[in-house]
Chains A and B, each alone.
Chain A
Amino acid sequence: MNKLLPAALLAAAAWAGVAATTPAQADPIKPAILFDMGGKFDKSFNEGVYNGAMAFTKKTGIKFHDFEVQNEGQREQGLRNFAKHGNDPVLAIGFAQADGLTVVAKEFPKTHFGIIDMVVDLPNVHSFVFKEQEGSYLVGMLAALASPGQKVGFVGGMDIPLIRRFACGYVQGVKAVDPKMVVFQNMTGTTPSAWNDPVRGGELAKSQMEQGANVVYAAAGATGLGVYQAVTDAGKLAIGVDSNQNYLHPGHMLTSMVKRVDVATEDFLNDAKAGKFAPGVSSLGLKEGGVDAAFDQYNEKLVKPEWKAKVEQAKKDIIAGKIQVHDYMTDNSCPVS
């Protein structure tokens, strides 16, 4: 135990260090980012935002404040604190921040806010949403192509329409390759803790693989780490989400459905820096480079060139409007399952 005490002091010092490195007065903007409950190192959604913000910092030298909410009550409070202390712009990460942001953005009409994954319709808010169904469609195709005559699975985090949108796009992609293929779908839970339960994620993946799933796609934050581990242990294939997670288990990660939250974050900060903040909604799909299936050195041996060609073709067709991918959130239902 005596190892713990110095470490605790170290941790305290580290926190103090964070507080001390506030941006210098000369900085033109004071950006702040409120991460959601997955935490900024979830190797997925929040981490993508973090990477985007770090890229901005590296290029401009402007540092940003951040805070990771630990419980639901902290969201509104965190946003308000940022705004109160003169941070501008303030970026809220995640669908769950919409309610808090709606309140706080009205309280601070002169502060510029951004939100990722949800639309908040206020004159001082810019909303970024992604067409996850399009990216999920592509990885669904890959899953089906990699599993001829087998089954595939999907593990979602919290059961919300946004995650159903991932699932629905994925199933559409699978069925585009093989209309008869069975897709197992599981949600981890109905509370935010569903983003942080790798053990349950692993169990869900195991149950799907026992029923014959060859590829499992996880859209579940840190819960996904358990899914990928279980899939790797079983020698099957997994599909990552949000950030490019191909590197996590080389040889077992078929691809990742990347959602370029990093690009959205960097663009948002750059616009704010240039004084070009504009309210409204950016809906980022394949066409805008907002979502994609990730191909890199970690999965090049897994993905056959002809699969990749098919995916690239589908991508072109979606961009051209020849393939319409249904968006679950438009009518809260999915035409296929």
Chain B
Amino acid sequence: MHALDQIIPIMAATIRVAVPLVLAGIAGLFSERSGVVDVGLEGKMLAGAFAAAAIASITGSVWLGLLAAIATSAVLGVLHGFVCITQKGDQVVSGVAVNILISGLTMTLGLAWFAQGGQTPPLPPSARFSEVVLPLSGLIGQVPVLGPFYTQVLGGQNILVYPTFALVPLAWWVLGSTRFGLRIRAVGESPAAVDTAGVSVVRLRYAAVLIAGALCGIAGAYISTAQGAGFVRDMTGGRGFLALAALVLGKWRPWSTLAGCVLFAALDALAIRLQGVIVPGLGAVPVEFVQMLPYVMTIVLLAGFVGRAIPPRASGQPYVKDR
């Protein structure tokens, strides 16, 4: 029973922490499968986080905040698309530019609008996504093992959590079985072939970056209005890059990307609880060690366990019709 008391909270925390990673990971999946490298996941998430907190704070409506986050982040996705697709610019440079731009712009706008040092005012509970209590929680909660699992892991989560995890099979189905998805993948492998078939490469790639933008926006809104209660400078804290690592680890596939995200989230949840724990023979676990675990895992897994991670063939290359 004691071990279970530990495991259930860790599972619940894993899910909480995984949500923004999964959203950003699937965002990156769409963008990169279409051949547009997206280093700007972090920046788009941050923009979403700011927009959600700012609008939720002004209007008091968390849903308007979410919409604003999706819109803002989608606009950035289109901006990234404009540089990479229309102007055929360097995709990595554009992504990095988005990250830097947003890091500064959110602070500047935050200062101008709220005059609280770039933070948004703390959000009241009504302007945040609250936890969902599943039906019959009181009854099922009594059942040993299953009860806490039902109330704390399946239930007791945020409303954004459920569509996020539903998104993975959706992405799998879209990319694997629909005409649109197959074309997205084709345009990432061989844009010339898609073009020859009479399908617009530009339109497909724009659609992909737009989807990526919207998903990053949801991830940002989750961070600032569900997990947090307001915007704080650079509050995404590298989660966009972690999602990117999960995407590479997952070899640009939905289910394995999800696995990567959940692995990182579990490590994080575990890491929090491992800190300062005395390991027999080793002494206390240092913070540094615990924090580098996800990155070490990425390297180790990429180096041997998951085999070669091969990106989409046309990834990073702007499509030029008459080469």
Residues of B91-118 contacting chain A, CB below 8 A: 104-105, 107-109, 111-113, 116-118
The answer on a CB contact under 8 Å between B237 and A193 is yes
Q: Residues of A with Cβ closer than 8 Å to B?
A: 1, 4, 7-8, 10-11, 14, 39-42, 47, 68, 70, 159, 184-187, 189-190, 193, 196-200, 202-204, 206-207, 210-211, 222, 225-226, 229, 233, 248
Q: How far is the CA of A207 from the CA of B7 in the complex (A)?
A: 11
Report chain A residues within 8 Å CB of B75.
Answer: 1
Whether A204 touches B272, Cβ cut-off 8 Å, given contacts A11-B111, A40-B117, A199-B228, is: yes
The answer on a CB contact under 8 Å between B223 and A1 is no
The answer on a CB contact under 8 Å between B237 and A185 is no
B234 in the interface (beta carbon within 8 A) = yes
The minimal Cβ–Cβ distance linking B119 to chain A, given in whole angstroms, is 6
Q: How far is the CA of A185 from the CA of B277 in the complex (A)?
A: 10
Q: Residues of B with Cβ closer than 8 Å to A?
A: 9, 13, 16-17, 71-72, 75, 104-105, 107-109, 111-113, 116-119, 122, 125, 223, 227-230, 232-235, 237-238, 268-269, 272-273, 275-276, 287-288, 291
Whether A199 touches B237, Cβ cut-off 8 Å, given contacts A1-B75, A186-B272, is: yes
Q: Is the interface of A mostly helix, strand, loop or mixed?
A: helix
The answer on a CB contact under 8 Å between A203 and B17 is yes
The minimal Cβ–Cβ distance linking B236 to chain A, given in whole angstroms, is 8
Which A-B residue pairs are the 4 nearest by beta carbons? A41-B117, A11-B112, A210-B9, A39-B117
The minimal Cβ–Cβ distance linking B311 to chain A, given in whole angstroms, is 28
The answer on a CB contact under 8 Å between A187 and B228 is no
The answer on a CB contact under 8 Å between A229 and B228 is yes
How many A-B pairs with Cβ below 8 Å? 102
Q: How far is the CA of A11 from the CA of B109 in the complex (A)?
A: 7
Whether A41 touches B118, Cβ cut-off 8 Å, given contacts A225-B232, A229-B229, is: yes
**Quick one: which of B72, B112, B232, B237 contacts A1, CB cutoff 8 A?**
B72
Report chain B residues within 8 Å CB of A229.
Answer: 122, 228-229
Report chain A residues within 8 Å CB of B275.
Answer: 185-187
CB nearest neighbor in B for A188: B287
4 more CB-based (< 8 A) A-B contacts, given A197-B235, A222-B119: A193-B234, A196-B232, A196-B235, A225-B122
CB nearest neighbor in B for A191: B291
The minimal Cβ–Cβ distance linking B240 to chain A, given in whole angstroms, is 13
Whether A207 touches B230, Cβ cut-off 8 Å, given contacts A11-B108, A196-B235, is: no
The answer on a CB contact under 8 Å between A4 and B109 is yes
The answer on a CB contact under 8 Å between A10 and B269 is no
The answer on a CB contact under 8 Å between B232 and A222 is yes
Whether A190 touches B291, Cβ cut-off 8 Å, given contacts A197-B237, A203-B269, is: yes
**Quick one: which of B105, B107, B118, B228 contacts A198, CB cutoff 8 A?**
B228
